[in-house]
Structure 1
Amino acid sequence: MTSPYSHEANAEVADLQAALKAHGITLPSLGLDLASVVQTYGPPLVELGNCNLDTARALTAALRKAAAR
């Protein structure tokens, strides 16, 4: 059994991937947390995963730039 929120959660992960890609950022492990997908009492969690230092710096810079607007 999967969460009734699975479709919404998958769409949100795709939107996040696209937004990150627009800033040249890829999080290879980005996806849904599998343990939370099989439960039915709330939306699944998004697993951001691991990234290298260059990706962390790029993500930090993009967030700071957006916050400065």
Structure 2
Amino acid sequence: MTSSQQKPPLPRRTPRAGRPATAKVEEAVAARDDLAAALSGAGVQLPMMDVRTPWPDTDGEDSSRPARYALVHLGVCSAPVAHALAAVIRKGAAR
């Protein structure tokens, strides 16, 4: 993939409208951005990467409390992209 074909950086947004970003969310966003940059440098572009936090509690507690953790969601990708990702991982593991 050439630099003219690279997509713009992923947006920095907080999960779930109205919920504040926490240190865990910021850590996950930084990890997502780092992974996206590394994959892009290896010629692999995942179509959808996002940061997700747990669903708000439904037991009547305040759902505005900070997220205890956040996960980097890699989304879905086509078979050719999955093969490219596997090749990059194998190449790195062989070092």
> 1: distance between equivalents of 2:74 and 2:33?
12
Q: Is the 8 A contact 1:3 1:37 kept in 2?
A: no
Structure 2 residue aligned with 1:44, among 70, 75, 78?
70
Residue 56 of structure 1 is matched in structure 2 by: 82
Structure 1 residue aligned with 2:41, among 22, 38, 48?
22
Q: Is the 8 A contact 1:3 1:44 kept in 2?
A: no
Q: Is the 8 A contact 1:37 1:44 kept in 2?
A: no
Q: Is the 8 A contact 2:44 2:85 kept in 1?
A: yes
Q: Which has the higher contact order (CA 8 A, sep 6+)?
A: 1
Quickly say closer, same or farther: Cα 1:2–1:23, change in 2 above 3 A.
Answer: same
| Residue type at the aligned position of 2:88 | A
Q: Is the 8 A contact 2:29 2:72 kept in 1?
A: no
Residue 68 of structure 1 is matched in structure 2 by: 94
Structure 2 residue aligned with 1:12, among 31, 41, 44?
31
Give the share of equivalent positions with the same residue, in percent. 37
Larger of the two Rg values belongs to structure = 2
Give the structure-2-normalised TM-score: 0.62
| Residue type at the aligned position of 1:12 | A
> 2: distance between equivalents of 1:37 and 1:12?
21
CA distances 1:32-68 after superposition (whole Å, capped 9, x unpaired): 12x4386622x20111110001100000000000010
In structure 1, the gaps of 5 or more residues are: none
